[in-house]
Amino acid sequence: MQDLQGAWGDLGGFARPGLILAVGGANLDIRARIAGRVMSASSNPGVVTVAPGGVARNIAHALAQLGERVSLLSAVGDDEHGEQLLSACEAAGIDCRHVRRIPGPTGIHIATLGSDGELVIGVSHMTAVGQLRPCEIAEVERTIEEAAVVVADTHISSETLLALGQRTERHSVPLVIEPVSVAKSARIRPLIAAGLPIALITPNRDELGALTGHRVVHMDDVVKATDILHEQGVERLVVGLGPEGIFVSSSEGRVRLLARAELSMDTSGGSDVGLAALIWALRDGADLVNAARAGQVAAALAVSSDENVPEKLAPSLLSRAMAHATAIPERS
C-alpha cells in the first residue's frame, strides 16, 4: 500500500471535545431472512427479528458503545413502540432529551432478505422523523455549538438538513452526512449549492451518482464523481463499492480499500455501525484511511450479527484490526 499517512488534510476538527449529536431516523426494524430460494407471491419460510433501528439511532448506539457521549435528535410516535424505542436508546447510553414525541405511529422499517443476506425488498414508514422542522434545529443550537461532531442522515427533510448545515457552519462543527438512499440523497444538494461545509459524506455508488447527476458504474466514474463533489466543497468522501470494497477520497488523496471477506452475510445494516466506527477512529487520532479501515471492521462485525449494533463492538477490537486491510492507491 502506498503510504498516505498524513496526506488527508487537517482532521483535528473531529478531535475537539464535546458530545456527538446524531440527527435523523429512529424506528423499529423488522427483519425477515428467507431460509431458502425466494418464492415471489408466496409465503416463504424463514426467521423474523425485531430490534431498535434507524440510521441515526444505530450510529448513536454504536458510538455510545465505543465510549463516546452521544445525544440523539429524532422523533418517535406517541405509541407503545415509541416508549419501547426510547427505553432501548436510554439503556444503550444515548441521551434522548432531544427526541420528540409526535402524535401518530413510531417509524417502522421492514426488510426482507434472501438467504445470502441481500435485500429482496424493504418497506419504510418514517413519517415521525419526517416531521422534524428547521425550528427544532434552532431549539438545539446550544447543543450543536457545544458538539464535537454532528452526524445526520437524510430521513429528515431537505429544509431541516439545510438548517442543520447552517448552524454547524456557524459554530465550526464538522458535519457528517449519511445519504441513506438514492431518492433521499437529493436532500443533500441544497447544502452543497449553498456552499455549506460538509466534512464527510458516505454514499454508495448509486447515491454518489444521484449526488452528482452523473452515471457512476466504473472506478473512473467514481473518481470523477468524487472530484466533482470536492470541487463543490465536500471535504471527504467514503464511497461504498459493495464487493469491490470502499473508495476513500479527499482533496489531498484517494485510495481504494478492498472488501473484507466477512462482508458476505446480511448487508442491510453494517453501514451505520461502520460510519460510527469511522467517526470514533477520527476522534481517536486516525487518518482517514485508517478510520475507514475501522469502519470496515465494524461493518463486517455488524453484518455477521443478528443485532443492529453487535455487543462485541469495542475500541480494542477496532484498534487491533485497523492495520489489516489491503489498499489500492488510485492515480490522481
Percentage of the chain surpassing pLDDT 90?
A: 72
The predicted pLDDT at position 194 comes to 97
- Cα atoms found within 13 Å of the Cα of residue 176, Cβ hemisphere only: 27
- 196 within domain boundaries: yes
- 172 within domain boundaries: yes
Domain that holds residue 297: 12-24+55-103+130-329
DSSP run (H or E) holding 109? strand 108-113
- 192 within domain boundaries: yes
pTM for this model (two decimals) = 0.91
112 is written with which cell numbers? 426482507
Alpha carbon distances (Å) from 128 to 52, 62, 90, 104, 178:
15, 22, 19, 7, 19
- 148 within domain boundaries: yes
- 123 within domain boundaries: no
Question: What is the tens place of the pLDDT at every residue in 288-327?
Answer: 999 999 999 999 888 888 788 999 999 988 887 666 555 5
- 291 within domain boundaries: yes
Categorize the per-residue pLDDT at 145 as very low, low, confident or very high, splitting at 50, 70 and 90: very high
CATH number where 240 lies: 3.40.1190.20
Categorize the per-residue pLDDT at 260 as very low, low, confident or very high, splitting at 50, 70 and 90: low
The predicted pLDDT at position 264 comes to 39
Q: CB under 8 Å to 180, separation ≥6 — which residues?
A: 24, 25, 55, 153, 154, 155, 207
Give the mean pLDDT of 275-282: 96
Categorize the per-residue pLDDT at 263 as very low, low, confident or very high, splitting at 50, 70 and 90: very low
- 40 within domain boundaries: no
* C-beta of residue 57 within 8 angstroms of C-beta of residue 21: no
Q: Bridge-partner residues for 119, per DSSP?
A: 113
Alpha carbon distances (Å) from 32 to 56, 84, 106, 108, 115:
22, 20, 19, 13, 10
Q: Give CA–CA dist 3/1, Å, rounded.
A: 6
Q: Give CA–CA dist 55/23, Å, rounded.
A: 9
β-pairing, 119-125 vs 108-113, is: antiparallel
Of the candidates 189, 231, 272, 11, the residue with the CA atom closest to the CA atom of residue 223: 231
Categorize the per-residue pLDDT at 330 as very low, low, confident or very high, splitting at 50, 70 and 90: low
* C-beta of residue 79 within 8 angstroms of C-beta of residue 111: no
Of the candidates 228, 229, 261, 226, the residue with the CA atom closest to the CA atom of residue 245: 261
Categorize the per-residue pLDDT at 266 as very low, low, confident or very high, splitting at 50, 70 and 90: very low
Query: Taking 90 as the threshold, does the pLDDT of residue 165 lie above it?
Result: yes
The count of structural domains within the chain is: 1
- 48 within domain boundaries: no
The predicted pLDDT at position 143 comes to 97
Residue with cell 457512476: 216
Q: CB under 8 Å to 208, separation ≥6 — which residues?
A: 216, 222, 225, 226, 229, 237, 239
The predicted pLDDT at position 326 comes to 53
Categorize the per-residue pLDDT at 273 as very low, low, confident or very high, splitting at 50, 70 and 90: very high
The predicted pLDDT at position 221 comes to 97
Percentage of the chain surpassing pLDDT 70?
A: 90
The predicted pLDDT at position 298 comes to 93
Query: Taking 60 as the threshold, does the pLDDT of residue 3 lie above it?
Result: no
Question: What is the tens place of the pLDDT at every residue in 197-252?
Answer: 999 999 999 999 999 999 999 999 999 999 999 999 999 999 999 888 899 999 77
The predicted pLDDT at position 119 comes to 83
Give the mean pLDDT of 130-157: 96
Give the mean pLDDT of 106-113: 92
